[in-house]
C-alpha cells in the first residue's frame, strides 16, 4: 500500500473565526481563603474589607460576588492597609518600606450574557512613596515605617517610624510636609529628668487621632510613653509616663479616656484631664490572666454601649507557662467573659460599629477576626456572642485537600436537598445573623445552572461547595469517619466532658471557646479521601479512600440508624509470594450507627490489600461501581451486594521469584525485539556513514530539514518504558460504556480499565435488561440474574506509557451520555447504528481505535511533537459565543508543562494551545479539574483554587460596582481592552499597578498549530469528564526533576520509528 504525504495547507480564515468564537483562555477568579494573609482593613462607610498577603496581593471584598484584586509590582509582604473612608481609596504599606495608594476606577462597559453592563469598577495602583532617610545622622532603619494613621479628614497621613519620628504626608498626592515632621528630640526635651534618664523612647508603636478634636494626636512609644500632641500649635499637650513596654492604644469614644495594652499581658486605662500636663499613673490597670507571667496583648479595642458596660476586645495576654501556645482573642463586657480559642495565629481584627459623630455610643454589632488560615465573624448583638457563617473566604483547607470533583447543571431537587442537609448541620441561626461586610453591588447575571465542587479531605470528609458564581460558598459536609472505628472515636467514650465536675473545674478559667473550622490534624490518615464520583440523577455517591475503602452512599432527608453492609474484594486473588507491608485496613463499625440527614452509607467495599484507591467509576443506572488500586481493579454490584469481578494487574516481572520459566520467555521476546530495532537503525544510519566532511554534514542536515518541513512535523524519539517498573500495576482510569465489544451488531454494557504500564482491559458485562446482547436473550427475571463480566479485549500500548483516560465515542464521534441522560431524555441518544470508537489517552499520545475490531483510526503523538506528557484529559462541549445553537466537542489535555492543548474529536486535529499553570507547580497540575462547559479549577495554594475558562462563551467572573463619595475616574487605558489581572500566588507575570474587580485576563491570542483543517462539529452538548480528580504521582516528580541535558537530548532525536503497531490480544 502506497503512502501519500501532502504539503501542509495554509490556515483557513473561516476556521480561525470559528475557533475565536469557541475558545478563549481567561483566569477569572480565585476561590477560597488568601494564602498567608498579613494585613486587614475595613471601610465602615462603603462596608468593604481588604486583606493583604505576604505575596504582595490586595483583595477587597464586599457583599457576595463583589471582589477586587490588586498586586504590587514586587512580591513583598503587605504589612498594613488603611481605607480612605467612603472614597474607594486605600493605602498599603509593604515590608520594603514603601507606601502605595490604590483607587477604584471606572472600567470600560462590558457585554455579559447579551446585556451591556456599565458602572463596572476595578482596582488600580495610582501612586507610590518611600520615606527619605537622613544622610549622616540616621541609618535606613530609623526611617523604617512602623505605623500609619489616616486622619479623619482623609487629607493627611501620619507615619510613625522606628527612629521615633512622625512624618506627615499630604493626600492623595503622597507628598511630604517637611515643616510638620515631629522628631523624637522635640518630645524628649519636655520629659521630666527622672523619666528621661538618657534612654531612647523607642519606635512609634501606635498613633490614634482624638475622636472629638481634629488635630490632636495620641502618640505611643515602645518604651511606654504616650504623648497627646497638638498638631496645630505643635506642642505636647499632655504626657502619660507609662513604665511598661507599649503594644497598642485605643480611644474611648468621648475622648475622656484611652486604653493602652502592654507586653506583660495587661492593659491600663488613662484619663485625659485638662490642667495636668504630666500624668504618672493610669486610672486603672489590669492583667486579666495574671498573676503569673503572661504574653503581650498585641491589640485592644474599647467599644461603648448604651447598656452601660463597654465591650473590651483584645488579642493575646495568655499565661505563658500553661497557655502560651494558644491563639486567643478575648471579649469582655461586665461579667461576661469569653476567650475565643483559634487553631491559627491572629493577624488582625476589627469591629463593625456606629461611626456617626452625632451618636453617643459605638454599639458594636460584629467582630471580624483575620487568622492565618481562616476568617471568623462573631455576632456581638446576640447574647452569648455566637459565630456568623461566612458566605465566602471559607477555608478550603480546613483539612488538607486530597481530591476534587465537579458537577455541572445540578438538578434543582438535589440542590435543595443538599442545602437543607447543610442548614440542619449548622443548627439554629443567630437572631441578628446577617453578614456585616455587604458593600458594593454585584452586576454579574445570576447563574443559569447550579454547579457543585466536591473536595475530598485528609480527615475523611467530603465538602460540597456552591461553585455557581464568584463566591465559593459551603453547602454541605459529609463525614465518613463514623463508618469506622478510629483512634479518636467520640462514640467510644460515653462520658460527656461537660458532666465531669473536675473537668468543669479545669476549664472554668480561662473560659475557652473553640471557634473556627480550620483543623489541620486528622484522627487517622487512612481516612483520607482519594476519589469521588457522584451521579446527580440517582443521588448516588461513591467515595474511595487511602486504606482501600470504597463507600457507596445514598441521599436521605431523614436521620437514620442502620448497619453498613461490608464486602471484601481480594484483588490479588490468592496470589502466592506477595506480602503487604503497608498499613492495615480500617475496622468497620458493625453495630448500627446514627447518620444525619444527607448522604448516608449503603455499602462498604474493602479492597485487599488495603492500598490507596487510584481510580473509581460509577454507573448508577446499572447499579455498578468499579474501583482500582496499585494491585488491580474490581467490579461491584451494590444493588445485589456482590462482587462481580476482581482482576490483578501486577506484572509478572513484579514477582519473578514465583514465576519461574515465564521470565525466560519474556527475556527472549525482549531480546528479539531489540535485535530487530538495531538492524533497522543500522540500515538507516549506514546510508550516511561515508559522509565525513563538515560541509557535507551541513548540506545533509539542511536537506533533512527541508524534507521534514514538506512531509512531517519534527518528532522526538520515545523510548519504550521498562516493564519492570514496580508501579506498572497501578490502575489509572476506569470507564463504563454501552457499546460494541463482541461484534458489530450487538451492543451491551462494558467496563474499560487502563493501567500504568499501558495495558487496557475491556470487559463485556451482562447486566439484566441492558443492551442487545446475550443477557437480554437469556430471558428470566431481573432479580434472578446476576451481573457477569467476561474479558473481551486486552490492549497493550507499545511504549507502555500510563493510560490517563479512556472514553467511548458513538457513531457520530460524540461522547456517550451519562447514565440516565439518554433513558430520561435529558440528552440526545447516542448513535447505535454506526460503528463506535474508543479514545485512549496515554501520557505520550492520543489514539482512536475502531470498535469492535480495535484497529487504530488516528493518533497524535503529543510527547513526540511537543516534548510534554499528558496529565489530565477531559471531553468538553464548547458553545459558540456568536451562534447560540452551535457547539463542538473538544478534547482538552493538560500536560506536565502546565499548558492546555485542545484537539478535535474524533479527528484529533490540534486546535489551540494555552499556557495555564507554571510547570514548577506540580501540585497545581495534579489538582486540576475540568468542568463540562469549558471551565476548570486548580490549587494555587493549599487554601485557594484558581478558576479559569477555556470557553469564549462561558465565564464566571466578578463584575461589581461601588457607590463612592467621589466621581469615578476612568482607567488610564485609552481603549476598551483590559489588562491581564494579577494573580496573588505567582501564576502569571507581574504587571505594575493593574488589577481588576472583574478579575479577567484579556483573551489570549490563539496559538494555532501547524495543522489547521476544518473538523467535525457535533451539535450535541453532552460530554464526559474523565479522570478529573488527581494527586501527585511519581511521574509528576520525575518530570519536575528532569535535567536540561535530557531535554536537549530529546530535541536531537528528530527521527521516528515507523511501523509500530498496537498489540491486541482478543479473547
Contact 729, 654 (CB under 8 A): yes
Q: What is the pLDDT of residue 850?
A: 94
CB count in 10 Å sphere of residue 224: 21
- Three-class DSSP labels, 501-555: HHHHHHHCCCCEEECCCCCCCCCCHHHCEEEEEEECCCCEEEEEECCCEEEEEEE
Contacts for 296 with CB less than 8 Å, ≥ 6 apart: 245, 247, 261, 262, 263, 264, 265, 316, 317
Q: Label residue 290 by pLDDT band (50, 70, 90).
A: confident
Residue with the bigger pLDDT between 888 and 1034: it is: 888
Helices (H), 534-693: 656-659, 662-686
pLDDT score of 10 = 59
Contact between 369 and 381 under an 8 Å Cβ cutoff? The reply is no
Q: Mean pLDDT throughout 729-749? A: 93
User: How large is the average pLDDT for residues 291-318?
Assistant: 94
CA of residue 313 relative to chain centroid, distance: 33
Mean pLDDT of the chain: 82
Q: Which range among 175-189, 759-773, 940-954 has the greatest average pLDDT? A: 940-954
In this predicted model, which residue has the larger pLDDT, 846 or 1031? 846
Residue-wise pLDDT for 407-453, tens only, equals 999 999 999 999 999 999 887 554 456 899 999 999 888 898 999 99
The whole-model pTM stands at 0.83
Cβ distance 992 to 100 under 8 Å?
no
Band of the pLDDT at 868, cuts 50, 70, 90? very high
Nearest to 928 by CA among 879, 873, 1001: 873
More confident residue, 823 or 752: 752
**% of residues, the chain, pLDDT over 70:** 77
> Residue 288: what are its φ and ψ, rounded to 5°?
-55, -40
Question: What does the pLDDT read at residue 945?
Answer: 96
Distance between CA 128 and CA 151 in Å, rounded? 19
pLDDT digits (tens, 9 = 90+) for 836-863: 999 999 999 999 999 999 999 999 999 8
The pLDDT, as a whole number, for residue 431 is 45
Give the whole-angstrom CA distance, residue 417 versus residue 452: 13
Bridge partner list, 229: 217, 236
The listed range with the strongest mean pLDDT (170-174, 219-223, 506-510) is 219-223
C-alpha cell at 365: 454589632
* Spatial distance between the Cα atoms of 901 and 841, rounded to a whole number of angstroms: 13
670, pLDDT greater than 70: no
What does the pLDDT read at residue 196? 80
* pLDDT tens sequence across 321-369: 999 999 999 999 999 999 999 999 999 999 999 998 888 899 999 999 9
Strand-strand pairing, 549-556 and 257-262: unpaired
Side-chain-side CA neighbours of 683 within 13 Å: the count stands at 6
Separation of alpha carbons 286 and 292, rounded Å: 13
What percentage of the chain exceeds 90 in pLDDT? 61
CA distance 834 to 841: 23
What DSSP designation does 91 have?
A: E
**Sign of the CA dihedral running 1037, 1040, 1045, 1049:** positive
What letter does residue 482 receive in the DSSP assignment? G
How confident is the model at residue 705, as a pLDDT?
Answer: 42
Amino acid at each position: 500500500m502506497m503512502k501519500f504525504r501532502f504539503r501542509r495547507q495554509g490556515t483557513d480564515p473561516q476556521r480561525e473565526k470559528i475557533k475565536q468564537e469557541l475558545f478563549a483562555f481567561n483566569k477569572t477568579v480565585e476561590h477560597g481563603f488568601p494564602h498567608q494573609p498579613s494585613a486587614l482593613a475595613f471601610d465602615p462607610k462603603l462596608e468593604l474589607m481588604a486583606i493583604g498577603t505576604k505575596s504582595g496581593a490586595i483583595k477587597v471584598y464586599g457583599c457576595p460576588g463583589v471582589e477586587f484584586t490588586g498586586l504590587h509590582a514586587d512580591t513583598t509582604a503587605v504589612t498594613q492597609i488603611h481605607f480612605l473612608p467612603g472614597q474607594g481609596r486605600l493605602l498599603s504599606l509593604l515590608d520594603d518600606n514603601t507606601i502605595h495608594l490604590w483607587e477604584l476606577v471606572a472600567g470600560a462597559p462590558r457585554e455579559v450574557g447579551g446585556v451591556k453592563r456599565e458602572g463596572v469598577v476595578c482596582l488600580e495602583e495610582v501612586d507610590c512613596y518611600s520615606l527619605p532617610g537622613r544622610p549622616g545622622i540616621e541609618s535606613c532603619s530609623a526611617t523604617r515605617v512602623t505605623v500609619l494613621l489616616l486622619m479623619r479628614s482623609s487629607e493627611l497621613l501620619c507615619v510613625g517610624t522606628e527612629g521615633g519620628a512622625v512624618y506627615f504626608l499630604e493626600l492623595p498626592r503622597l507628598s511630604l510636609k517637611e515643616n510638620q515632621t515631629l522628631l523624637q528630640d522635640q518630645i524628649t526635651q519636655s520629659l521630666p529628668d527622672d523619666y528621661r534618664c538618657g534612654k531612647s523612647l523607642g519606635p512609634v508603636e501606635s498613633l490614634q487621632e482624638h475622636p472629638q478634636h481634629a488635630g490632636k494626636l495620641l502618640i505611643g512609644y515602645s518604651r511606654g510613653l504616650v504623648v497627646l500632641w497638638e498638631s496645630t500649635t505643635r506642642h505636647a499637650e499632655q504626657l502619660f509616663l507609662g513604665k511598661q513596654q507599649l503594644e497598642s492604644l485605643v480611644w474611648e469614644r468621648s475622648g475622656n479616656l484611652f486604653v493602652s495594652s502592654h507586653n506583660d499581658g495587661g492593659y491600663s486605662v488613662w484619663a485625659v484631664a485638662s490642667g495636668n500636663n504630666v500624668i504618672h499613673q493610669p486610672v486603672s490597670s489590669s492583667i486579666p490572666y495574671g498573676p503569673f507571667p503572661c504574653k503581650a496583648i498585641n491589640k485592644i479595642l474599647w467599644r461603648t454601649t448604651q447598656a452601660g458596660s463597654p465591650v473590651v476586645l483584645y488579642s493575646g495576654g495568655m499565661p505563658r507557662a500553661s497557655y502560651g501556645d494558644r491563639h486567643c482573642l478575648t471579649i469582655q463586657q461586665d461579667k461576661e467573659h469569653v476567650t475565643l480559642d483559634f487553631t491559627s495565629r491572629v493577624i488582625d481584627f476589627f469591629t463593625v460599629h456606629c461611626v456617626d459623630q452625632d451618636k453617643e455610643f459605638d454599639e458594636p454589632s460584629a467582630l471580624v477576626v483575620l487568622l492565618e488560615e481562616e476568617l471568623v465573624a462573631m455576632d456581638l448583638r446576640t447574647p452569648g456572642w455566637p459565630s456568623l457563617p461566612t458566605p465566602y473566604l471559607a477555608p478550603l483547607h480546613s483539612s488538607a485537600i486530597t481530591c476534587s470533583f465537579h458537577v455541572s447543571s445540578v438538578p434543582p431537587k438535589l440542590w435543595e436537598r443538599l442545602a437543607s442537609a447543610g442548614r440542619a448541620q449548622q443548627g439554629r441561626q443567630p437572631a441578628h445573623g446577617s453578614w456585616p461586610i455587604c458593600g458594593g453591588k454585584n452586576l454579574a447575571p445570576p447563574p443559569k445552572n447550579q454547579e457543585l465542587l466536591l473536595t475530598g479531605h485528609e480527615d475523611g470528609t467530603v465538602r460540597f461547595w456552591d461553585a455557581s458564581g464568584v463566591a465559593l460558598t459551603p453547602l454541605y459536609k459529609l463525614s465518613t469517619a463514623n463508618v469506622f472505628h478510629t483512634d479518636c472515636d467520640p462514640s467510644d467514650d460515653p462520658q460527656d466532658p461537660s458532666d465531669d465536675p473536675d473537668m468543669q473545674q479545669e476549664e472554668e478559667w480561662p473560659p475557652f471557646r473553640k471557634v473556627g473550622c480550620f483543623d489541620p490534624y486528622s484522627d487517622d490518615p487512612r481516612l483520607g479521601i482519594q476519589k469521588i464520583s457522584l451521579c446527580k440523577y440517582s443521588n448516588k455517591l461513591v467515595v474511595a479512600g487511602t486504606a482501600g475503602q470504597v463507600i457507596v452512599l445514598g441521599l436521605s432527608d431523614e436521620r437514620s440508624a442502620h448497619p453498613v453492609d461490608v464486602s471484601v474484594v481480594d484483588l490479588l486473588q490468592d496470589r502466592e509470594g506477595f506480602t503487604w507491608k503497608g498499613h492495615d485496613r480500617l475496622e468497620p463499625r458493625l453495630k448500627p450507627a446514627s447518620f444525619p440527614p444527607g448522604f448516608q452509607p449503603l455499602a462498604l467495599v474493602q479492597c485487599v490489600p488495603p492500598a490507596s484507591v487510584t481510580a473509581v467509576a460509577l454507573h448508577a443506572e446499572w447499579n455498578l461501581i468499579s474501583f482500582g488500586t496499585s494491585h488491580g481493579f474490581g467490579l461491584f454490584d451494590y444493588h445485589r451486594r456482590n462482587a462481580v469481578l476482581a482482576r490483578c494487574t501486577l506484572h509478572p516481572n513484579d514477582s519473578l521469584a514465583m514465576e519461574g520459566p515465564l521470565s525466560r520467555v519474556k527475556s527472549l521476546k525482549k531480546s528479539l525485539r531489540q535485535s530487530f530495532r538495531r538492524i533497522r537503525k543500522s540500515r538507516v544510519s549506514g546510508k550516511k556513514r561515508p559522509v565525513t566532511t563538515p560541509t557535507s554534514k551541513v548540506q545533509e542536515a539542511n536537506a533533512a530539514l527541508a524534507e521534514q518541513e514538506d512531509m512531517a512535523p519534527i518528532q522526538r524519539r520515545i523510548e519504550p518504558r521498562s516493564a519492570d517498573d514496580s508501579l506498572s500495576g497501578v490502575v489509572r482510569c476506569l470507564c463504563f460504556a454501552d457499546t460494541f465489544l463482541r461484534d458489530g451488531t450487538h451492543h451491551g454494557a462494558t467496563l474499560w480499565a487502563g493501567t500504568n504500564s499501558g495495558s487496557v482491559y475491556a470487559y463485556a458485562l451482562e447486566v439484566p435488561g441492558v443492551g442487545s446482547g446475550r443477557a437480554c436473550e437469556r430471558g428470566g427475571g431481573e432479580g434472578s440474574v446476576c451481573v457477569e463480566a467476561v474479558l473481551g479485549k486486552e490492549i497493550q500500548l507499545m511504549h507502555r506509557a500510563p493510560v490517563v483516560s479512556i472514553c467511548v465515542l458513538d457513531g457520530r464521534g460524540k461522547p456517550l451520555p451519562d447514565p440516565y441522560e439518554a433513558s430520561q431524555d435529558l440528552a440526545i441518544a447516542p448513535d447505535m447504528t454506526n460503528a463506535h470508537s474508543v479514545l485512549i489517552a496515554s501520557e505520550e499520545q492520543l489514539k482512536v481505535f475502531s470498535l469492535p475490531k480495535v484497529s487504530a483510526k488516528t493518533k497524535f503523538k503529543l510527547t513526540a511533537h511537543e516534548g510534554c506528557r499528558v496529565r489530565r484529559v477531559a471531553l468538553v462541549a464548547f458553545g459558540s459565543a456568536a451562534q447560540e445553537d452551535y457547539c463542538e466537542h473538544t478534547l482538552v489535555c493538560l500536560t506536565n508543562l502546565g499548558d492546555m492543548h485542545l484537539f478535535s474529536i474524533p479527528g484529533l486535529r490540534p486546535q489551540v494551545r494555552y499556557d495555564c499553570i507554571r510547570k514548577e507547580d506540580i501540585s497545581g497540575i495534579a489538582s486540576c479539574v475540568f468542568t463540562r462547559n469549558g471551565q476548570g479549577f486548580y490549587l494555587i495554594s493549599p487554601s485557594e483554587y484558581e478558576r479559569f475558562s477555556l470557553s469564549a462563551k462561558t465565564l464566571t467572573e466578578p463584575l461589581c460596582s461601588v457607590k463612592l463619595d467621589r466621581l469615578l475616574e476612568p482607567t488610564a487605558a485609552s481603549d476598551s481592552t483590559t489588562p491581564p489581572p494579577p494573580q496573588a500566588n505567582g501564576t502569571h507575570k507581574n504587571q505594575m499597578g493593574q488589577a481588576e474587580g472583574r478579575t479577567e485576563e484579556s483573551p489570549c491570542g490563539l496559538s494555532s498549530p501547524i495543522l489547521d483543517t476544518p473538523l467535525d462539529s457535533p451539535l450535541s452538548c453532552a460530554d464526559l469528564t474523565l479522570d478529573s480528580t488527581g494527586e501527585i504521582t511519581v511521574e509528576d516528580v520525575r518530570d519536575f526533576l528532569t535535567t536540561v541535558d535530557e531535554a536537549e537530548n530529546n530535541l536531537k532525536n528528530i527521527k521516528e520509528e515507523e511501523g509500530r503497531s498496537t498489540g491486541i490480544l482478543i479473547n
